[in-house]
Amino acid sequence: MANNFLPISKDDLKKRGWKELDIILITGDAYVDHHSFGTAVIGRVLENKGYKVGIIAQPDWRSKKDFLKLGRPRLFFGISSGNVDSMVANYTANKRDRKIDVYSPGEKCGMRPDRAVIVYANKVRETFGNVPIVLGGIESSLRRFAHYDYWDNSVRRSIIIDSRGDILIYGMGETQVVEIAEYLKKGININNLNGIRGTVIVRKDCGFLKDYVFTPSFHELKEDKSNFNKAFKIIYSEQNPFSSKPVVQKYDKRVIIQMPPPLPLREKALDEIYELPYSRNWHTTYNRYGGIKAFESVRFSITSHRGCCGECNFCSLYFHQGRIVQSRSQESILKEINFISQTQEFKGTITDIGGPTANLYRAYCKLWRDKGFCNDKSCLAPNKCKNLELGYKEAVNLYRKARKIPKIKHIFIGSGFRYDLLVDKYSESYLKELCQFHISGQMKVAPEHVSDKVLKLMNKTSFSLYEKFVNKFYQINKNVNKKNCLVNYFISGHPGSDLKDSLELGLYLIKRNIHPEQIQDFIPLPMSLSGCIYYTGKHPLTGEKIYVPVTFKERKKQRAFMQYRNPKNKRLILEALKELKLSNLAGKFFGRRNIGRIPGDKRKTGDESLRSDEGRRKMRKNEEKGKRLKGKGRSKSKNQKT
């Protein structure tokens, strides 16, 4: 593995003896040359195929200066918002400005514009005219069709229309970007690239296609939410790489066409991507800012697989990485661990060997290789499909080999786990291995909620499996003499969840003495099924009407039940309980003595009847004591509240 970064300036080109670049990649992230960062992966893949590639990271979009610094590419500009959708990166679930950006130097905010792909692409078009523009990354991928935008609270057009891009790559993109480069290298016009899997194109009509499906037009789905659901259902059903047809959506006098998804990568091809000569560091220009925070969490981590067959409805992975799990070979992973162990910065700990779900490494279904996945049922919900084989034996074997590598002190698995795959007998030896050697004190799991009604809408398994897992987890830890604990992730404000459901969750957390500091506020992401429910109020696949908590006030109340120990949430909890006519439960959250007083508020708040007899007697006693002391010439007692 080399230590050379891809060029970012004209000086870098001179050092290499290059007069021009074939491809220039523009990203909303700082430039980190590591395989956890999409721009670095695409750049190294293209470089490996012989192309001259440069990177413009976080250009100032208010002028042309940064866009001109590498000149005009011979083949195309590739544009991405970075590892995160720019609106998610810039704003919280409450639509407030984020205070930090871990993908920017010094965690500084404001380094990328809102709707970065659109802004960058239009600036390139303004600067260079009719240069080929290829869109990619998570923002382009999940906004490839007409979509509901939470921050605008409206339906927006496909991003390829608004950005004036020539072709859009969805998914991980390695195979598509190379195919596009090969065609352009041969002199084929970018507007004639009509059959590349994993791409979206804009055309006047779709007459050149033999077999395809139409969604409702942009105008139709924007005007009628039932048409929005119809469009989502069609797009959702056409994501199988082996059976999907092109999907066409009309925009006035033009159409966008999604070609079928790319075929899953074979093991060898995936290994090659992760073995490319990444510098495995942020670019040296960021040293003066203290580097890039997002890199610190992955510096000594290993990506073992991609794709997730969990198909959670609030997650967009189904439309990006897909349902088919693609795993690297043991040899490739061990080779990378061995390389990391030789680096100067390494202190002995591998922080992760994982992917979207840690315990899906080497998961396999016999259909995945040639037929894809089942369109009429999920792999994991409501229960694991009998045809899904889990790779626990291979994973344990990998972990044991990794522990034997010289200079390795610890191998931890930092990614989240599917707890529902850790409750049966086939998982015992795997879970024991994890608890004994590969958990750094905390294991990440995502029960998400306690209400089976809400969990079903999330496409998650019954909460009873979580209870079963918790008992098994702590029993195994006891057996191996470990004191590992669980880090639980919950979602607040998901469609289908009302105040009563959130109260149920809050009471469960109290019972278990769980007080999570971090709660994921539900964000209706583009091209997620839960996001579709949020906008339309109906399940797009069943037509069922679903309750949706829309107002910020209710969303805050639901969150408050989960973070009941935060004093700032007390008034919200009292209001919510009063609304539910369950004020008698306040003692569960605050204890009998602390019900009536809200921190920072001198007024009597909440239901006066909630105060206990003991509390009222104590208040009267303190008042009488204060009067007696005042009568003796003292203005205030040290015991009297000011």
**Above 80 in pLDDT, residue 638?**
no
Closest CA to 103 of 86, 79, 123: 86
Looking at the domain assignment, is residue 640 inside a domain?
no
Whole-number pLDDT of residue 244: 96
- pLDDT for residue 594: 53
pLDDT for res 23: 98
**321-339 pLDDT, tens digit each:** 999 999 999 999 999 999 9
pLDDT digits (tens, 9 = 90+) for 43-64: 999 999 999 999 999 999 999 9
Instruction: Return the pLDDT at 515.
Output: 84
Of 258, 278, 310, the position where a domain reaches its end is: 258
Structure tokens at 476: 């195994």
Per cent of the chain over pLDDT 70 is 92
H/E element, 440: none
What token pair was written down for 9?
Answer: 């300036």
pLDDT of residue 315: 94
Residue span of the structural domain in which 521 resides = 493-611
Q: Is the pLDDT of residue 597 over 70?
A: no
209 in a structural domain: yes
For residue 188, pLDDT beyond 90 = yes
Amino acid at 12: D
Mean pLDDT in residue range 172-176: 97
Residue with tokens 């019900």: 595
Number of domains making up the chain = 2
pLDDT at 357 over 80: yes
Please give the sequence-ordered ranges of beta strands (E in DSSP) within 378-470, or none if there are none: 410-411, 442-448
Sign of CA dihedral 48, 320, 132, 184: positive
**What's the CA gap between 567 and 576, in Å, rounded?**
15
b/e sequence 181-209, b meaning 16+ C-beta within 10 Å: bebbeeeeebeebeebbbbbbbeeebeeb
CA distance 446 to 520: 11
Residue 193 domain flag: yes
Tokens of 387: 């045809």
- Strand positions, DSSP E, 96-166: 133-135, 147-149, 154-156
Give pLDDT, residue 12.
96
**Whole-number pLDDT of residue 590:** 87
Reference 267, options 338, 185, 196, 364; nearest CA is 364
Query: Does residue 206 lie within any of the structural domains?
Result: yes
7, with CB counted inside 10 A (0-12, 13-18, 19+), is buried
Asked whether the predicted pLDDT for residue 228 surpasses 90, the reply is yes
Among 238, 258, 278, which residue terminates a domain?
258
The edge-to-edge listing of strands for the beta sheet with 133-135 is: 53-57, 23-27, 76-80, 133-135, 167-169, 199-203, 254-258, 247-251, 213-214
Location of structure tokens 């997620």 = 528
CATH code of the domain covering residue 114: 3.40.50.280
The larger pLDDT score, comparing residue 174 to residue 1, is at 174
Q: Tell which residue, 80, 72, 5, 94, has the closest CA to residue 44.
A: 5
Establish if 29 belongs to a structural domain.
Answer: yes
pLDDT digits (tens, 9 = 90+) for 112-162: 999 999 999 999 999 999 999 999 999 999 999 999 999 999 999 999 999
Predicted confidence band at 608 (pLDDT cuts at 50, 70, 90)?
very low
Tokens of 459: 């496409």
Domain end call among 221, 237, 258: 258
Residue 219 falls within a domain, yes or no?
yes
Of 235-239, 243-247, 518-522, the range with the lowest mean pLDDT is 518-522
Angle value at C-alpha 561, between 559 and 564, nearest 5 degrees: 105
Spatial separation of the C-alpha atoms in residues 57 and 65, rounded to whole Å? 13
Per-residue pLDDT tens digits for 395-452: 999 999 999 999 999 999 999 999 999 999 999 999 999 999 999 999 999 999 999 9
Q: At CB < 8 A and 24+ separation, what contacts does 152-156 make? A: 155/218, 155/221, 155/222, 155/228, 155/535
**Cβ–Cβ < 8 Å for 69, 10:** yes
Domain assignment present for 547: yes
Residue 510 counted as domain residue: yes
State pLDDT tens for residues 485-525.
999 999 999 999 999 999 999 999 999 998 887 789 999 99
Ordered DSSP codes for 41-90: HHHHHHHHTT--EEEEES--TTSSHHHHTT---SSEEEEE--SS-HHHHH
Could you read off the pLDDT of 249-305 as tens digits, one per residue? Answer: 999 999 999 999 999 999 999 999 999 999 999 999 999 999 999 999 999 999 999
Residue 10 reports pLDDT greater than 80? yes
Q: How does pLDDT run across 68-114, given as a tens digit for each residue?
A: 999 999 999 999 999 999 999 999 999 999 999 999 999 999 999 99
Which residue from 273, 357, 267 is spatially nearest to 35, judged by alpha carbons? 273
